[in-house]
Amino acid sequence: MYTLVSGAYKYLTRQDEYTILMLGLDGSGKTTLLERIKHMYIGLPLMDADKIKPTVGVNIGKVHVKRTLLKFMDLGGARELQGIWESYYGDGHALLFVIDSVDEERLGEAKQTLLRLMKDRELEGIPMLVLANKQDTQDAGSLVHVKEVVNTLADCMDARDVRVMDASGKEGHGVKAAIDWLYSRIIENRQRKPPVTNI
């Protein structure tokens, strides 16, 4: 009887977990975006964006969306830290690539980094959201401009879902829409990339 009850409890309380890799150049606002996500979904106090330090290594945040656990892995974007990214590719169910919409000078560097990710076989087939961040800033480039840059990489996108959206991690604009898109694509792709089931 205990085994039956225990088995039923484990079945009812098991939880699917999906990992979203948050990548992008240093200064693109990944950590601020993650803090906003944690504030919106689990009610953590919002940190002052000006006091958030650049990520060195990995910054992890977990949130629930429709009884599914999404684990966000914010990986440091400095050039010397990008070498660690590859060790996390196998865990990823989706890729959230964050672009600083204000920093036009580094848009070419962001494009080359994105191209490298698209060509990596270990990331093949997983959904990819390119987020034009910092749209609250007056000098931010338009979403149309970022889409034009991403569209030049169309030949490398294979059959994956790719979407470009705008957002402000600092103000929260567009964040929920971004998470909703990621969630829906992860669920649609679960046959190809199954979740980790936590019991």
Q: Is 57 annotated as a binding residue?
A: no
- State both tokens at 81: 């830290």
The answer to the question of whether 135 is labelled as a binding residue is yes
Q: How far apart are CA 184 and CA 128, in angstroms?
A: 12
Per-residue confidence (pLDDT) for residue 13, from 0 to 100: 61
Phi, psi dihedrals of residue 73, rounded to the nearest 5° = -115, 100
31 labelled as ligand-binding? yes
pTM: 0.91
3-class secondary-structure state, position 76? coil
| 28 appears as a binding residue in the annotation | yes
- What pLDDT does residue 44 have? 86
Ligand-binding annotation for 30, yes or no, is yes
Residue 38 is encoded by which pair of tokens?
């944690």
59 is an annotated ligand-binding site residue: no
At residue 90, the pLDDT reads: 95
Quickly count: other Cβ atoms within 10 Å of residue 47's Cβ: 14
d(CA 95, CA 1): 44
> Per the annotation, does 90 bind a ligand?
no
Q: What pLDDT is recorded for position 55?
A: 84
Calculate Rg over the CA atoms of the chain.
Answer: 17
Backbone angles phi and psi of 86, in degrees to 5: -55, -30
Mean pLDDT by 10 residues, the chain (199 residues): 52 81 96 96 85 85 94 94 94 97 95 95 95 93 92 83 95 96 96 88
Domains of the chain: residue spans and CATH: 21-198 (3.40.50.300)
Place of tokens 């931010």: 140
Task: Tell me whether residue 77 is annotated as binding.
Answer: yes
Length of the chain: 199
Residue 125 assigned ligand-binding role = no
173: how many CB neighbours lie within 10 A of its CB?
14
User: Cβ atoms within 10 A of the Cβ of 60, count?
Assistant: 12
The answer to whether 198 is a known ligand-binding residue is no
Consult the annotation and say whether 6 binds a ligand.
no
pLDDT for 150 equals 92
- Closest by CA to 150, choosing from 26, 24, 21, 27, is 24
| CA gap 69, 63 in Å, rounded | 6
pLDDT of residue 25: 97
Phi, psi of 59 (to 5 degrees): -120, 120
User: Which residue shows structure tokens 């440091």?
Assistant: 76
Res 18: pLDDT: 98
pLDDT at 54: 80
User: 79: which 2 tokens?
Assistant: 């050039």
